[in-house]
Amino acid sequence: MGAPYSLFASITAILVLSACSFEQHEAVGENQIVFGITQSISADTGQPTTKAAYELLELDSQGWKTRAFVDHGRSCWLERLDSRLGQPRVESGVATFRGGSLPTTGLAVLANANTNDSRVAEAVVSGSAWADGDTLTFEAHGFAMPNVGRVRLQAPSTLAVATPAPPSAGASELAISTKGDFTVTWASDEAKGGHVSSDKVAVVLEADGAGQAGATAVELRCFFERSAGTGVVPKDELSAFLTATRQAQPSTSQDGAVHGKLTVATHTQKSLTRPGGWVIYVVAEAMAREQPFAARD
Task: Give per-residue pLDDT as tens, 45-86.
Answer: 778 888 888 888 777 655 444 444 444 445 788 877 766 656
**Percentage of residues in the chain with pLDDT exceeding 70?**
70
Q: Is the pLDDT of residue 9 over 70?
A: no
Nearest to 121 by CA among 39, 63, 53: 53
pLDDT band at 119 (very low <50, low <70, confident <90, very high): very low
- Residue pLDDT, tens place only, 243-256: 988 888 776 666 77
Whether the per-residue pLDDT at 170 is higher than 90: the answer is no
Residues with Cβ within 8 Å of residue 128, at least 6 apart in sequence = 39, 48, 50, 100, 101
**For residue 217, which of 119, 80, 63 has the smallest C-alpha distance?**
80
Instruction: Give residue 189's pLDDT.
Output: 60
Q: Where residue 96 falls among pLDDT bands split at 50, 70, 90?
A: very high
| Paired sense of beta strands 62-63 and 135-142, if any | unpaired
* Residue 75, pLDDT score: 78
Helix (H) or strand (E) holding 248: helix 235-248
Average pLDDT over residues 86-106: 84
What pLDDT does residue 13 have? Answer: 44
Please state the pTM of the whole predicted model: 0.80
Can you tell me the mean pLDDT for 212-222? 76
Mean pLDDT of 135-161: 93
Report the range out of 43-47, 72-76, 121-125, 182-186 with the highest average pLDDT: 182-186
